[in-house]
Amino acid sequence: MIRKIFKKNSSNPKLDAIMEKYKIPKELLSINRKMVSRAVMVGLFIAMIPMPMQMLAVVLISLFFRFNVPIAISLVWVTNPFTMPFIYYIEYLTGNFLLMQEGVHDIQMSMEWFQKNIGDIFIPLYLGTVFYSILFSIGGYYLVNWLWIISVNRAKKKKQENYDKKER
């Protein structure tokens, strides 16, 4: 079903002209199971990493791996300014848990506090980041593959049922 929505809106003369002018490969916008599931994997992986310019990282990765870039860029916004503190705090707590350490208490949201404690929070934060990046990216990849296959099978079954009804 989602494939039909994208297929209907995939032809745009202005977009085609821009892609031709800047020699952007059409594969980076293609909608198929592999490209979308790869985009989900890359987008969720980069989204969980606390770093600036996540969208630029997705574009740079697209030079080496083929995936649907707009979907991956939109998934990077899972960690937007509203969700970032919560997600990164959970990653920090998970990193502390995996390292079996207690971590920093009395957390304050100020640059001064952050600069003072960066040495204590850096390793647990990025260990938690690696954990969740791998977990969500692989989980998202397989979930999209599974949902896509189920959707295609349902569409085939419905088409066959409609065909059988017409023959009667």
SS3 90: helix
Q: What is the pLDDT of residue 18?
A: 74
Whether pTM > 0.75 for this model: the answer is yes
Domain ranges of the chain: 2-167
Over residues 132-145, the pLDDT tens digits come to 999 999 999 999 99
At 36, the pLDDT band (50, 70, 90 cuts) reads: very high
- Within a 10 A sphere around the Cβ of 112, how many other Cβ atoms? 8
Over residues 88-117, the pLDDT tens digits come to 889 999 999 999 988 777 777 778 887 888
Q: Which residues contact 24 (CB under 8 A, 6 or more apart)?
A: 18
Does position 10 have pLDDT exceeding 70, yes or no? Answer: no
Distance between CA atoms of residues 126 and 53, nearest Å: 17
